[in-house]
């Protein structure tokens, strides 16, 4: 360009990144690291997670064993690395499963209306009025403890939140002219729901999913802590805290450090979800 | 929906509440009967003879068709009879009555801590928006939201019991003391009534760590909601008017803004109160607190389903009642609110 422009053009990426807080950058790094650990834990673990070494039992953190060792002399840092894979993986699983159950129900309910809507929404009202964690615990007890079953139970009690949100979106969008136009052009219901309504209702759903990752990390870890999720010798982070509980007056690192990993990862997801909401929802920007 | 008068509103809500409780009973009843374990065998142990097991089933009506059992349970429930625990053989309603005061005694200070600190953080961060206070408050509230409660409980025990020795690790009272005579079921109040300072002091220091652990999540939620709700109100026209007619900032904040920001804050506190009853399971487990959450969880592990069902019914009723109170409080906070 030869002429000098008087207005400073802000690049598109800067318009997004300027809404990310300094804490957000730190959190993004942590989340990317956690995902890398989840995908390829063997790159990060420096010891075998299941190798027993009784000579090294309950040793405090050192240059060799960063998180110390457990009662069988296993390296806790390496176990926590594999724990991140289990905890984060199952949390992401819970959120996806919940969304996959809840969103279609909400879309159907909002689009079809009538008695379908009435029945689905009364059922979801009821689920929302239950003490959800207790019901989830009861479900896990019945179908048997385990990480997969804990995920299923949480999805079973959480789907109404997604159904309600999706339904609310669809109710607004249904009245839009482009939807009416699609209908007038002869598009079938399935096509309208899938191609027109769903993509346009995704923003608040994505924000909700990002907020829920942290809730799901805490819930699955809590279930494992109570013995309803992963059970020993699994290195799932909540389960590590339980295993360390028996020794925690003599070996502070055993419960403290794996639990701190849960806190750091769930906090990082919360910060990012918070920033993401500001970026995706301009109405909330102030 | 059309605005309605108070009676219609209450009736409508009570009907929905009854349906919800019935739903909760149905779900737990179905779950209880999906368990492969035989409750009669579980209650009598492996040494019981077939005849004893059959006898037990007949006595308890366990040999009847499921629908009959369900009908019996619901009709007994309507009379306030929640059945008998398989493990302790005590009536469930009586057991709940024994354990509920301990949980309430833990919940009240916990709720006070989270509401007071959450509110102050939220107001401070909205008022000094974008500044250091705001950043700090955001950090603290996100920390509260991200906290694994069971882990925080253990860390508090490690620091304040093991290392500093300031607070006991768990329980409601020092083991050498005997509980005060039972009047309200709250050890603190009962100690006061009995005039026993030693048990009062002991029950108070036993409350500190579990109450703080249970408060963190709610504190974070209250702080965030207070901030965003107050920011909404502070940018509204009538606040600008109030400022431009020269009112002091403190008057604008306390008399004009906060009252209008209160509805979402009260909603979120009500929701949390309901959820804290089930959240208490973790805190009570870590601190060996003999409350209703731990009681229900222990029963769950032992497949003692009459207890689990009784607890679910009770928790659902409390949850619904709290929500009803929250909705009614709107009409007090904001006279424009109409009941639907």
- Walking along chain A (286 residues) 10 residues at a time, the average pLDDT comes out as 57 71 89 92 78 80 83 86 92 95 90 86 79 82 88 92 88 80 82 79 84 92 90 87 86 91 94 82 52
d(CA B73, CA B309): 10
| Residue in chain B lying closest to A156 (CA) | B27
Instruction: Give the DSSP H/E element, type plus range, for residue B183.
Output: none
For residue range B300-309, list pLDDT tens digits in order.
888 888 888 8
d(CA A235, CA B234): 49
Tally the C-alpha atoms within 13 A of residue B82's C-alpha that lie toward its C-beta.
21
Distance of CA B171 to the CA centre of its chain: 19
Quote the pLDDT of residue A1.
44
Which of A131, A138, A226 has the CB atom closest to B316's CB atom?
A131
Asked if the C-beta of A255 comes within 8 angstroms of chain B's C-beta atoms, the answer is yes
Poorest-confidence range of A69-83, A233-247, B50-64, B91-105? Answer: B50-64
| Residue in chain A lying closest to B276 (CA) | A131
Write B176-182 long-range contacts (CB < 8 A, 24+): B177/B202
Q: Which residues of A touch B282 (CB under 8 A)?
A: 222, 225-226
Quote the pLDDT of residue A286.
41
Chain B interface disruption, residue of A21, A131, A144, most B CBs within 10 A: A131
Looking at residue A5, the DSSP 8-state letter turns out to be: P
> What Rg do the C-alpha atoms of chain B give, in angstroms?
24
Both tokens of residue B144?
Answer: 């509260």
Q: Which residues of A touch B135 (CB under 8 A)?
A: 23
Phi, psi of A69 (to 5 degrees): -125, 165
Residue A286: count other Cβ atoms within 10 Å of its Cβ: 11
Looking at residue A69, the DSSP 8-state letter turns out to be: B
pTM of the model: 0.86
Asked if the C-beta of B298 comes within 8 angstroms of chain A's C-beta atoms, the answer is no
- Smallest CA-to-CA distance from A257 within A85, A92, A89, A78 is with A78
- Kindly determine whether residue B285 and residue A226, on different chains, have CB atoms separated by under 8 Å: yes
- For residue B11, count CB atoms less than 10 angstroms from its CB and return exposed for 0-12, middle for 13-18, buried for 19 or more: exposed
Q: Which residues of B touch A256 (CB under 8 A)?
A: 151, 154-155, 158
- Kindly determine whether residue B303 and residue A245, on different chains, have CB atoms separated by under 8 Å: no
Quote the pLDDT of residue A49.
67
Write A198-203 long-range contacts (CB < 8 A, 24+): A198/A103, A198/A107, A200/A169, A200/A173, A201/A107, A201/A166, A201/A169, A201/A170, A201/A173, A203/A280, A203/A281
Q: Strand pairing partners for B84?
A: B91
| Residue in chain A lying closest to B301 (CA) | A141
Q: Which residues of A touch B146 (CB under 8 A)?
A: 214, 218, 263, 266-267, 269-270
Quote the pLDDT of residue A179.
79
Q: Is B278 left (phi over 0), alpha (psi -120 to 50) or beta?
A: alpha
Which of A131, A259, A260 has the CB atom closest to B315's CB atom?
A131
| Residue in chain B lying closest to A256 (CA) | B155
Quote the pLDDT of residue B36.
65
For residue range B166-204, list pLDDT tens digits in order.
999 888 888 888 888 888 888 888 888 888 888 888 889
Percent of chain B with pLDDT over 70: 96
Interface predicted TM-score (ipTM) of this complex, two decimals: 0.85
Quote the pLDDT of residue B278.
67
- Kindly determine whether residue B154 and residue A125, on different chains, have CB atoms separated by under 8 Å: no
The Cα of A93 is separated from the nearest Cα of chain B by a number of Å equal to 18
Chain B interface disruption, residue of A23, A87, A142, most B CBs within 10 A: A142
Which of B148, B279, B320 has the CB atom closest to A263's CB atom?
B148
How far is the CA of B272 from the CAs of A213, B25, B277, in angstroms? 19, 22, 9
Quote the pLDDT of residue A89.
94
Which of B129, B278, B285 has the CB atom closest to A134's CB atom?
B278
Both tokens of residue A142?
Answer: 């019945």
Residue A61: count other Cβ atoms within 10 Å of its Cβ: 16
Contacts of A1 (CB under 8 A, 6+ apart): none
Is the Cβ–Cβ distance between B172 and B304 less than 8 Å? no
Average pLDDT score over chain B: 85
- Kindly determine whether residue A255 and residue B154, on different chains, have CB atoms separated by under 8 Å: yes
The Cα of B100 is separated from the nearest Cα of chain A by a number of Å equal to 16
Asked if the C-beta of A272 comes within 8 angstroms of chain B's C-beta atoms, the answer is no
- Kindly determine whether residue A131 and residue B282, on different chains, have CB atoms separated by under 8 Å: no
Quote the pLDDT of residue B70.
86
d(CA B260, CA B234): 10
- Kindly determine whether residue A129 and residue B34, on different chains, have CB atoms separated by under 8 Å: no
Both tokens of residue A65?
Answer: 């064993």
Interface of B with A in 87-126 (CB under 8 A): none
- Kindly determine whether residue B146 and residue A214, on different chains, have CB atoms separated by under 8 Å: yes
Asked if the C-beta of B315 comes within 8 angstroms of chain A's C-beta atoms, the answer is yes
Quote the pLDDT of residue A7.
62
The Cα of B319 is separated from the nearest Cα of chain A by a number of Å equal to 7
> For residues B110 and A118, which has the higher predicted lDDT (pLDDT)?
B110
Give the largest CA-CA distance in chain A. 77
Asked if the C-beta of B278 comes within 8 angstroms of chain A's C-beta atoms, the answer is yes
d(CA A131, CA B101): 19
Q: Is the pLDDT of residue B63 over 70?
A: yes
Q: Which residues of A touch B281 (CB under 8 A)?
A: 133-134, 137, 226
Contacts of A170 (CB under 8 A, 6+ apart): A106, A107, A109, A110, A111, A193, A197, A201
Which of A132, A267, A286 has the CB atom closest to B231's CB atom?
A286
For residue range B286-295, list pLDDT tens digits in order.
999 999 988 9
- Kindly determine whether residue A270 and residue B278, on different chains, have CB atoms separated by under 8 Å: no
Quote the pLDDT of residue A43.
85
Interface of A with B in 130-189 (CB under 8 A): 130-135, 137-139, 141-143
d(CA A249, CA A74): 19
Q: Which residues of B touch A245 (CB under 8 A)?
A: 154
> For residues A224 and B6, which has the higher predicted lDDT (pLDDT)?
A224
For residue range B142-176, list pLDDT tens digits in order.
999 999 999 999 999 999 998 998 999 888 888 88
- Smallest CA-to-CA distance from A77 within A56, A48, A39 is with A48
- Kindly determine whether residue A256 and residue B158, on different chains, have CB atoms separated by under 8 Å: yes
């Amino acid at each position: 360009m030869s002429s000098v422009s008087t207005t400073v053009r802000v690049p598109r990426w800067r318009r997004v990144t300027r809404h990310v807080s300094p804490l957000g950058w730190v959190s993004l790094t942590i989340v990317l690291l956690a995902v890398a650990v989840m995908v390829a834990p063997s790159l990060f673990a420096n010891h075998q997670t299941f190798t027993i070494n009784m000579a090294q039992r309950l040793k405090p953190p050192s240059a060799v064993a960063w998180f110390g060792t457990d009662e069988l002399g296993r390296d806790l840092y390496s176990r926590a690395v594999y724990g991140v894979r289990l905890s984060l993986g199952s949390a992401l699983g819970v959120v996806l499963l919940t969304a996959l159950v809840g969103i279609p129900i909400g879309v159907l309910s909002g689009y079809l209306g009538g008695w379908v809507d009435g029945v689905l929404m009364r059922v979801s009202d009821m689920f929302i009025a239950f003490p959800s964690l207790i019901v989830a615990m009861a479900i896990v007890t019945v179908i048997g403890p385990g990480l997969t079953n804990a995920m299923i139970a949480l999805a079973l009690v959480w789907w109404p939140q997604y159904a309600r949100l999706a339904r609310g979106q669809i109710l607004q969008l249904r009245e839009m002219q482009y939807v009416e136009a699609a209908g007038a052009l002869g598009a079938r219901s399935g096509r309208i729901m899938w191609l027109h309504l769903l993509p346009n209702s995704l923003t608040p759903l994505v924000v909700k999913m990002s907020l829920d990752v942290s809730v799901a990390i805490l819930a699955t870890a809590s279930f494992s802590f109570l013995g309803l999720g992963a059970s020993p010798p699994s290195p799932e982070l909540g389960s590590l805290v339980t295993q360390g509980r028996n020794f925690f007056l003599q070996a502070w690192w055993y419960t403290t450090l794996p639990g701190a990993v849960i806190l750091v990862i769930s906090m990082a997801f919360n910060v990012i979800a918070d920033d993401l909401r500001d970026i995706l929802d301009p109405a909330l920007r102030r | 929906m059309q605005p309605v008068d108070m009676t219609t509103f209450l009736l409508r809500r009570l009907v929905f509440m009854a349906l919800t409780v019935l739903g909760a009973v149905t779900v737990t009843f179905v779950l209880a009967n999906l368990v492969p374990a035989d409750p009669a065998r579980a209650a009598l142990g492996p040494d019981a003879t077939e005849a004893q097991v059959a006898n037990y089933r007949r006595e308890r009506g366990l040999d009847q068709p499921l629908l009959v059992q369900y009908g019996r349970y619901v009709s007994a429930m309507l009379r306030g009879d929640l059945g008998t625990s398989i493990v302790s053989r005590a009536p469930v309603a009586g057991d709940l009555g024994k354990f509920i005061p301990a949980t309430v005694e833990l919940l009240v200070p916990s709720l006070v801590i989270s509401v007071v600190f959450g509110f102050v953080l939220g107001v401070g961060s909205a008022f000094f928006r974008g500044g250091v206070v705001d950043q700090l408050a955001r950090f603290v509230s996100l920390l509260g939201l991200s906290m694994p409660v069971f882990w925080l409980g253990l860390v508090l025990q490690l620091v304040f019991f093991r290392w500093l020795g300031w607070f006991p690790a768990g329980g409601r009272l020092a083991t050498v003391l005997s509980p005060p005579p039972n009047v309200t079921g709250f050890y603190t109040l009962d100690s006061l009534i009995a005039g026993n300072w030693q048990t009062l002091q002991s029950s108070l220091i036993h409350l500190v760590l579990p109450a703080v652990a249970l408060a963190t999540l709610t504190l974070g939620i209250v702080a965030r909601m207070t901030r965003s709700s107050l920011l909404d109100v502070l940018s509204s026209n009538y606040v600008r008017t109030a400022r431009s007619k020269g009112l002091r900032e403190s008057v604008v904040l306390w008399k004009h803004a906060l009252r209008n920001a209160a509805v979402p804050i009260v909603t979120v506190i009500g929701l949390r109160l309901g959820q804290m009853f089930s959240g208490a399971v973790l805190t009570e487990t870590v601190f060996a607190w003999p409350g209703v959450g731990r009681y229900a969880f222990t029963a769950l592990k032992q497949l003692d389903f009459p207890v689990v069902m009784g607890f679910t019914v009770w928790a659902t009723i409390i949850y619904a009642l709290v929500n009803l109170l929250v909705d009614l409080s709107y009409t007090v906070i904001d006279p424009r609110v109409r009941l639907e």
